[in-house]
Structure 1
Amino acid sequence: MTMPSAGALQGLKVIDVSRILGGPYCGQILGDHGADVLKVEPPQGDDTRTWGPPFLNGVASYYLGLNRNKRGMRLDLSQEAGRTTLLELLSDADVLLENFKTGTLEKWGIGYETLSERFPRLIHCRVSGFGADGPLGGLPGYDAAIQAMSGIMSVNGDAGAEPLRVGLPVVDMVTGLNAVIGILLALNERARSGKGQFVEAALYDSGLSLLHPHAANWFLNDKTPARTGNAHPNIYPYDSFPTRTSPIYLAVGNDRQFQLLCKVLGEPALAFEPEFQDAGSRSSNRLRLRDRLTALFQQFDGAALTEQLMNEGVPCAPILDVKSALEHPHTAHREMIVSMPNGYKGLGSPIKLGRTPATYRLPPPDTLDD
């Protein structure tokens, strides 16, 4: 466990009234880097407290993975007393982080326009499904539904198979990251102007932003992108391959890497055959290339081959399950697992700062009382 020290955001006060994933993930990142984050939950608690099993002391792993480095309290914002307390909390706060349905805070008399007049330096960040206006404005949005509607599912899965949800809440998490970026941008601007502003991170926008290179391809060729399984739509060999022992993933991005691959496989001349000698020809002739490479890979042990290829400068990797990835020695070296005395264990911050690294001071709130 990293020992407490001054974080990059020390002195920043955040009131986090968000729930589920995108907002809480944003708050956790701010907390990891030193912000004082107060998580305000409704009387029944954040829904994700019950999203299990597994549980630790009655609290679901889903909640635990998103809410460390926060103090906690319970507040009913639908009641005047709760709103009065929130206003007191905001009197010296820098950031309000929320993901209420559009119009809810306005109905309660604590919407952005009201709060900005009372607290002109406050940065009000809202995580929403579709934003406040437009054809879908104000509608609720969950990760999987946005994956479906933004086109992500349409390009995920095997060719000829049904569209497939990415097995991670990628839209929610990227929306949380975008909320962090927006808050930091607003803080930087406030240092010049002295004024806060409204920051919005919508799941729909974030889902669309993930469509690279599929959107870029469509802008140029007007062809609806199709599912390609594990293969990259633009370059090849960028795909999974079987070996004699275990599958590997190969990520060749240029001619030099392909030449090195062919040398390690014992077929250096393959790199210079006309149908495979450059990126465009390899992509156009990917089916023939896959057959040639698959035959060669059958001679090799997967683990030994990936190690040899990486040492030669060819990007590749063994295909690991979650347990193997978390137990990999490099995971420990990168300090990507956090443990605390109360039994909490979670993923560490991927954001590495030299002088002011992330610290892990508080486990997720195990009570709803401050």
Structure 2
Amino acid sequence: MSDLHPAPTPRGPLSGLVVADFSRIVAGPYCAMLLGDLGADVVKVESPAGDDTRAFTPPVRDGVSTYFQAVNRNKRSIALDLADPADLAVAHALSARADVVIHNFKPGGIERFGLGYADVAARRPDTVYCAISGFGTRGGADLPGYDLLIQAVSGLMSLTGEADGRPLRAGMAAFDVMTGLHAAVGIQAALRHRDRTGTGQLVEIDLLSAALSSMINQSSAYVSGGVVPRRMGNEHPSLYPYEPIATGDGELVIIAGNDRQFATLCRVLGLDELGADPRFRSMRLRNENRVELRRILAGALSRRSAQDWFELLSAAGLPCGPINDVAGGVELADRLGLEPVVTVDGVPMVRNPLRMSETPPTYRSGPPDLGTAGAEIRQWLGFPAPGTDRPSVRARTG
């Protein structure tokens, strides 16, 4: 159990767990932040140069990279040079105290420091050890993993963009985030197993496998159906209408995911006869005849503005919405009472999306400056602060 710092009330469901976060950039840090939001004491181990994302600028907030801030709240930072024997001893002691160890070194990289799973488990057999890589530990062990690279080789970029345009990346680090989410689920399952059996385990996840799983219907189309999906712009391969459609003054995303919703759309647009048209009676037929259906819908939608149709269609219960920028998305969430922004140590941040009735996420500290908790963490582990030779009275593995 952690005595690194007192957790405020209310205590999270993971309060008392110590997480040693040896990861950097996005997937691992995002996973560790989610655990921290739920109450875990997360110790972020950085090189003396700091996490790479500290230098991912612009933009900045108070001189700090907003990229770094996005995935590193609720953590304490200690700067350790693992090539330095004294710092490595601190890292070993931390791994012996941690309930969870997370890293995203390239396979084989962390083992040379005595911090691989076998070494950590020898120090603490009930450790839950999460190793994140780009391409796994077998044939892809030597390949570095970056989100853009995974988007390219997984097939996602081949699906993103206009049908006759070039492949495009998603507008965010999609597979880094999805890998971090998968890792957090795996860690929780391993902790539950430990509660029942008292034993830890190795949790491995790679970005490519997470990508293929996260592409759900698109990867399944090939694996189960033998169909190689293609780039379709904003269209959906299996649903229509399910795309932005032109109105009198701009586009509006309109979704009719079933026959009932299509009937609602036809009624509000004054096209009741369309629902009985043999070309459009089922989803399969609407998909087959989407070019003609799009022409008819656009003609009706051209009579009013996107805002007018948004209000009319929404009032009828049809899924639809404008294409916002990110500011518009945050503002919409705020108007809907979702409280998307929390302020942590004076820094506005996007809140954890979970709502829990008894043990909600907490925001105890903002993203740390490099190494600011180093002396405190060293003392907790039984090491003198840098520049001193007075040993702590605490046992190093107590």
Q: 1:132 aligns with which of 131, 137, 145?
A: 137
Do residues 369 (structure 1) and 368 (structure 2) align?
no
Name 1:33's counterpart in structure 2: 38
How far apart in 1 are the matches of 2:115 and 2:42? Answer: 20
Name 1:42's counterpart in structure 2: 47
- The within-5 A match list for 1:182-221 is 182-221=186-225
* Secondary structure in structure 2 of the residue aligned to 1:207: helix
Please give the per-residue CA displacement for 1:99-143, whole angstroms capped at 9, x wherever unaligned: 11111121122211111122101111111101111x222321100
How far apart in 1 are the matches of 2:225 and 2:109? Answer: 43
Q: 1:82 aligns with which of 59, 66, 87?
A: 87
Structure 1 contact 18–100 (Cα < 8 Å) conserved: yes
Number of aligned pairs? Answer: 366
Pair member with larger Rg: 2
How far apart in 2 are the matches of 1:235 and 1:92? Answer: 51
Structure 2 contact 333–340 (Cα < 8 Å) conserved: no
Name 1:306's counterpart in structure 2: 310
Instruction: Check 1:93–1:199 CA distance in 2 against 1; reply closer, same or farther (3 A cut).
Output: same
Q: 2:78 aligns with which of 46, 49, 73?
A: 73
Q: 2:179 aligns with which of 160, 175, 178?
A: 175
Name 2:299's counterpart in structure 1: 295
Do residues 121 (structure 1) and 126 (structure 2) align?
yes
Name 1:266's counterpart in structure 2: 270
How far apart in 2 are the matches of 1:332 and 1:361? Answer: 25
How far apart in 1 are the matches of 2:258 and 2:268? Answer: 16
How far apart in 2 are the matches of 1:255 and 1:98? Answer: 48
* Secondary structure in structure 2 of the residue aligned to 1:91: helix
Structure 1 contact 246–303 (Cα < 8 Å) conserved: no
Structure 2 contact 254–321 (Cα < 8 Å) conserved: yes
How far apart in 2 are the matches of 1:148 and 1:233? Answer: 20
Instruction: Check 1:347–1:206 CA distance in 2 against 1; reply closer, same or farther (3 A cut).
Output: same
Instruction: Check 1:332–1:48 CA distance in 2 against 1; reply closer, same or farther (3 A cut).
Output: farther
Structure 2 contact 73–365 (Cα < 8 Å) conserved: yes
Name 1:59's counterpart in structure 2: 64
Structure 1 contact 11–35 (Cα < 8 Å) conserved: yes
Instruction: Check 1:235–1:59 CA distance in 2 against 1; reply closer, same or farther (3 A cut).
Output: same
- The within-5 A match list for 1:200-349 is 200-328=204-332, 330=334, 333-342=337-346, 344-349=347-352
The Cα of 1:347 is off from its aligned counterpart by 0.8
Structure 1 contact 237–251 (Cα < 8 Å) conserved: yes
Instruction: Check 1:149–1:363 CA distance in 2 against 1; reply closer, same or farther (3 A cut).
Output: same
* Secondary structure in structure 1 of the residue aligned to 2:238: coil
| Structure 1 unmatched ranges of 5 or more | none
How far apart in 1 are the matches of 2:14 and 2:100? Answer: 12
Normalised to the residue count of structure 1, the TM-score between the two structures is 0.95
Please give the per-residue CA displacement for 1:312-357, whole angstroms capped at 9, x wherever unaligned: 2211111111111112254672121111343x11111111111111
Instruction: Check 1:205–1:329 CA distance in 2 against 1; reply closer, same or farther (3 A cut).
Output: closer
How far apart in 2 are the matches of 1:82 and 1:193? Answer: 33
The Cα of 1:49 is off from its aligned counterpart by 0.4
Instruction: Check 1:221–1:185 CA distance in 2 against 1; reply closer, same or farther (3 A cut).
Output: closer
Q: 1:359 aligns with which of 332, 337, 362?
A: 362
| Structure 2 unmatched ranges of 5 or more | 1-7, 374-398
- The within-5 A match list for 1:83-122 is 83-122=88-127
How far apart in 2 are the matches of 1:286 and 1:302? Answer: 21
Runs of 4+ in 1 over 4 A off after TM superposition: none
Name 1:156's counterpart in structure 2: 160
Structure 1 contact 4–361 (Cα < 8 Å) conserved: no
How far apart in 2 are the matches of 1:77 and 1:271? Answer: 67
The Cα of 1:4 is off from its aligned counterpart by 4.9
CA RMSD of aligned residues (A): 1.5
The Cα of 1:307 is off from its aligned counterpart by 2.6
Do residues 22 (structure 1) and 27 (structure 2) align?
yes
Same amino acid, percent of matched pairs: 41
Structure 2 contact 158–167 (Cα < 8 Å) conserved: yes
Instruction: Check 1:331–1:337 CA distance in 2 against 1; reply closer, same or farther (3 A cut).
Output: farther
Name 2:147's counterpart in structure 1: 143
Structure 1 contact 331–337 (Cα < 8 Å) conserved: no
The Cα of 1:166 is off from its aligned counterpart by 0.8
Instruction: Check 1:331–1:95 CA distance in 2 against 1; reply closer, same or farther (3 A cut).
Output: farther
Amino acid at match of 1:183: I
Structure 2 contact 50–370 (Cα < 8 Å) conserved: no
Amino acid at match of 2:136: G
How far apart in 1 are the matches of 2:225 and 2:107? Answer: 37
Please give the per-residue CA displacement for 1:57-106, whole angstroms capped at 9, x wherever unaligned: 43211101110011111111122222210122223311011111111121
